[in-house]
Structure 1
Amino acid sequence: MMKIKHILFSALLFSACDVLDQQPEDLIPTSEAIIDKQSATSAVNGIYHALQDGDYYGGRYILATEMVAGNGTASAFQAFWQELASGRVPVSNFHVEDSWIALYNVVNAANAVIEAVPNVGELDESEKNDMLGQAYFLRGLAFFDALRQYGEFYNTGSEFGIPLKLQPSLAPSETARATVANSYVQIESDLQEAIDRLGNGSPFFASQTAAKALKARVHLYQNEFGLAETLASEVIDELGALPPDYNEIYTTEESAEAIFELEFIQQDDPNVWSIEMYNNPPEVSVTDGLIDFLSNRNENERGMLFETLGNGLNRCIKYGTEAIEDGENTIVIRLSEMYLIRAEALGRSGVPNDALPDLNAVRNRAGLTSLTNIASDAELITTLLNERRAEFAYEGHYWFDMVRYGRMETIRGLESFRRIFPIPRREINISDGTLVQNPEYN
């Protein structure tokens, strides 16, 4: 299989120290570097490279959420992992700081493409639409992921959204936070631009189907169940039934279930999934609680992807089994999520049992028996939360699910304000009063 070579577009990507050392108006005018077809192609590839950052979909964005959700624990002495595992994350936590930079690096790279590509004379309209569609999709994804970590995404009436930086710049902290509602408006706008401009092809790239799928997730998070159900159904109609083998998506690149799959190859920086889970000792261990949860549910298929190593250590093998592997991919969006989105949308907007057909499609594929009745809305939420925990363990959903279902405080025993991370103290300090901290963080 031909591997995709994501080319580092160095003019778009900066280290953390660059962000701190430069004044916002002194940034390199990255859009001026996009002057022809070759540089435009490199710039688009550069967005994917930024997405692969170790502090983003290279592993830590997802690992961090699994830690705060209680699915992961720190198995080596590193304070930032221990802080995440406790759920009481300080404003100076290394992940909180570095993830902010990684997310806005993607935004900045996408902004450069969106600003420059319409003016590149070598490109025809079809090429421009494809490049712009990819940039809008990836910016929408980064904004959504930033909102989930740093904004009160569960409350559309909240003022605590995220900075919506829409021009090339590495200074998001110079932009005031939008409301949560306006943050969602921008995310939806970006994804609709992607839907309108993109076609379909390899799941290694943004596509119309991937944009529909992500937009379904965005609507679900806002309890906009009719819109979520419509988009999820469109994706299911396009892709069809679930592949029979649950584990295929982790063993086969571009499997029938993959909607958006971030590919890692040897030319890329090492995927931190493997490095952090397979060092001796590993930095991160799967909790006994998750192992017991899967065992008690007789999760023979989904449980195969988790191993007990002894000495209190467990690991997830969805992303490989060796410390240095040739690019185990990160699955960002997959088909079973569309079935569970539709199940939730139908069950929560109508009768709980309306969720059963799609819930059972996912359960049966995993080797579990069908459910026959869901007696109440509360039971539906419990069922959905458990099913999503099992289906997407170590894929970065469980924390956000327990938060949006209002179960975080009960499950994790944490104060309500810890449903989201703090804005990094560094960003607050350099914003000169523009950025406001999340409530109750000091």
Structure 2
Amino acid sequence: MKQIIKYTLALSFAFTITSCAKLVDEVNPTHILDASNAFKTIENYEAGLNGAYAQLRSVNTYGRNQSVIPDMMSDNLSESPENLPQGTRGMVDWVYAADNGAVEGGWLGLYAVINATNVVINGIDALTTPANQKTANRIKGQALALRAWLHFDLLKWFANNYERNSNEAGVPIMTTVSSQNPNLRPSRATVKEVYDRIFADLNEALRLLGDVDRAINTAARRVNIDVTAVNAMLARISLYAGQDADAIRFATNVINALPLATRAQFPGIWRDDNAAEVAWAIRFNPGEGGPALEVYSPAGNDRASFDASPDMVALYDQTNDVRFNSYMASGFSTRAPRPANRFIPIKYLGKGNNRDGVVDFKVLRTGEMFLIRAEARQRSGDQTGALQDLNTLRAARIANFMPGTESGAALTQAIANERRRELFLEGHRWFDLKRTTRTINRQNCRPPATQCSLASNSNKWTWPIPTPELNANPNMTQNAGY
């Protein structure tokens, strides 16, 4: 853990000076660097929270690793001849080892943001008074939810088992500020212990965010964590943990709060023209990259490093499904057209009419909540409810949709197929495969790709603990096969 401590402050500092200062509507968040920098006001802690949010735009977090790498590593995308050797090369071909830069960046990047949340969580109570209690609730509640969410992100990559009460190795739980514990070298908590911490933080966040001084988001942009976002977090995490009753309950809370987008609204979600059904998004600003630039970079070089895979394309009703033209385009280019048989991902083309790849990344949406509830109901034996949820989502996306009648194994597969359609390029496919079927067979697998299939028993489903972390912390253990 000494490696985490060493790098979290460095990453916080680097990101702060390059990105956070550009947020015109945020206080300078350099206070996230060290708890010893005496925070003198509640506003200082809000600046620290803003700094934590800002770090989510890093390529080590939602600028790449948590947003599009899960699709790049799966069967949703086909690597194109336009792709160049880059940091994700080993990820796409599943040849990463403990010294892989993207793996190390993913570990350190997430812990850096967790460290920033701990500065807020552990210090704000000292400045909380009856007069500013609701303000403190708003700030601390968001920090708690973010800390929980990022521990879950780490668990998805570095743990092999997602069962709620698993005693297999999870990840270290960080609840203190790195600079205050320079000699801390904790071992990996069990998966159960990580879940215990996650659910405790999220339940406390729900309590605090239910009593705040002002609205956290606007109808036009939902880039901060509020009660609805926490419910959405709890729905997804409960599904992974196998807590189906909780997944149904929390997903229902979001569905009741945020109706599905209409077909007229849906394309605008991906251009930031509206925030219909968005529970939480990561803000991206000009000059700070974008969530999918390593998939398709429309500005400048117009490089499409990946195409939608043939079986991905075939899943859609290309005439009636609003998602098809919102997510991909045949032969698309900002310069000379590409061959019509190449379907270019355009989901993150840019805000409005821009084509710079800079657009907010939608982390949690109501569409996912219908799929969570459908899957949890199906696993609980409620096939009628599961089919109703599936048909509701399909009818919202597909013009002239005739209600499906699937049951049993066919209904299970239909829900999985709909997750693939709905959540394309939103960071789900790798983990959906990992937690269910655990096999990949890529279509149209061609150079520069070198690996076309991944077996269910491969150790590559779980990332290795980075070498620098192992070297610095004698209590850290490696995952099997590395």
Q: TM-score range, shorter-chain basis?
A: 0.7 to 0.9
Give the aligned residue type for 1:423. I
How far apart in 1 are the matches of 2:95 and 2:314?
23
Residue in structure 2 matching 1:425, options 451, 457, 467? 467
How far apart in 2 are the matches of 1:335 and 1:344?
14
Given that 2:284 and 2:290 are in contact with CA atoms closer than 8 Å, whether structure 1 keeps it comes out as: yes
Which residue of structure 2 aligns with residue 342 of structure 1? Answer: 373
Question: 109-118 or 244-253: which moved more?
Answer: 244-253
RMSD over aligned Cα, in angstroms?
2.8
How far apart in 1 are the matches of 2:305 and 2:25?
29
Aligned length: 421
- Are residue 289 (structure 1) and residue 310 (structure 2) matched? yes
Aligned ranges 1:282-431 → 2 under 5 Å:
282=303, 284-289=305-310, 291-295=312-316, 300-304=321-325, 305-309=327-331, 310=338, 314-320=343-349, 325=356, 327-367=358-398, 369-376=401-408, 378-408=409-439, 412-414=453-455, 415-431=457-473
Structure 1 residues 331 and 4, CA gap change in structure 2 (3 angstroms): farther
Shift of 1:284: 3.1
Structure (1/2) with the larger helix percentage? 1
Given that 1:307 and 1:314 are in contact with CA atoms closer than 8 Å, whether structure 2 keeps it comes out as: yes
Shift of 1:91: 1.9
Aligned ranges 1:127-276 → 2 under 5 Å:
127-156=135-164, 157-169=166-178, 174-199=185-210, 201-202=216-217, 203-245=222-264, 246-266=266-286, 269-271=288-290, 273-274=292-293
User: Structure 2-normalised TM-score?
Assistant: 0.80
Name the SS for the 2:32 alignment partner: coil
How far apart in 1 are the matches of 2:317 and 2:397?
14
Which residue of structure 1 aligns with residue 77 of structure 2? Answer: 72
Give the aligned residue type for 1:307. A
Identity of aligned residues (%): 27
Shift of 1:366: 1.6
Residue ranges of structure 2 left out of the alignment (5+ in a row): 1-22, 332-337, 443-452
How far apart in 2 are the matches of 1:174 and 1:370?
57
Shift of 1:142: 0.7
Shift of 1:326: 8.0
Given that 2:73 and 2:92 are in contact with CA atoms closer than 8 Å, whether structure 1 keeps it comes out as: yes
Q: Could you give the per-residue CA deviations for residues 235-284 of structure 1, whole angstroms, max 9, x where no partner exists? A: 21222354343323213355221100122223x62225236521636373
How far apart in 2 are the matches of 1:299 and 1:82?
35
Q: Could you give the per-residue CA deviations for residues 149-201 of structure 1, whole angstroms, max 9, x where no partner exists? A: 11124234242201101001177983211101111111111111111111454
Name the SS for the 1:204 alignment partner: coil
Name the SS for the 2:293 alignment partner: helix
Give the aligned residue type for 2:349. G
Structure 1 residues 250 and 79, CA gap change in structure 2 (3 angstroms): closer
How far apart in 1 are the matches of 2:47 and 2:216?
19
- Are residue 440 (structure 1) and residue 451 (structure 2) matched? no
How far apart in 1 are the matches of 2:441 and 2:308?
18
How far apart in 2 are the matches of 1:284 and 1:385?
26
How far apart in 1 are the matches of 2:480 and 2:317?
38
Given that 1:73 and 1:85 are in contact with CA atoms closer than 8 Å, whether structure 2 keeps it comes out as: no
Residue in structure 1 matching 2:60, options 51, 55, 59? 55
Given that 2:62 and 2:291 are in contact with CA atoms closer than 8 Å, whether structure 1 keeps it comes out as: no
Question: 104-113 or 66-75: which moved more?
Answer: 66-75
How far apart in 1 are the matches of 2:57 and 2:216?
20
User: Structure 1-normalised TM-score?
Assistant: 0.86
Give the aligned residue type for 2:323. R
Given that 2:67 and 2:361 are in contact with CA atoms closer than 8 Å, whether structure 1 keeps it comes out as: no
How far apart in 2 are the matches of 1:430 and 1:164?
17
Structure 1 residues 439 and 119, CA gap change in structure 2 (3 angstroms): same
Residue ranges of structure 1 left out of the alignment (5+ in a row): 14-28
Give the aligned residue type for 1:349. S
How far apart in 2 are the matches of 1:175 and 1:298?
54
Question: 384-393 or 417-426: which moved more?
Answer: 417-426
Q: Could you give the per-residue CA deviations for residues 23-57 of structure 1, whole angstroms, max 9, x where no partner exists? A: xxxxxx42544221332121111111111212211
Residue in structure 2 matching 1:112, options 112, 115, 119? 119
Given that 2:272 and 2:359 are in contact with CA atoms closer than 8 Å, whether structure 1 keeps it comes out as: no
How far apart in 2 are the matches of 1:212 and 1:295?
30
How far apart in 1 are the matches of 2:183 and 2:330?
42
Structure 1 residues 235 and 172, CA gap change in structure 2 (3 angstroms): farther
Given that 1:31 and 1:116 are in contact with CA atoms closer than 8 Å, whether structure 2 keeps it comes out as: no
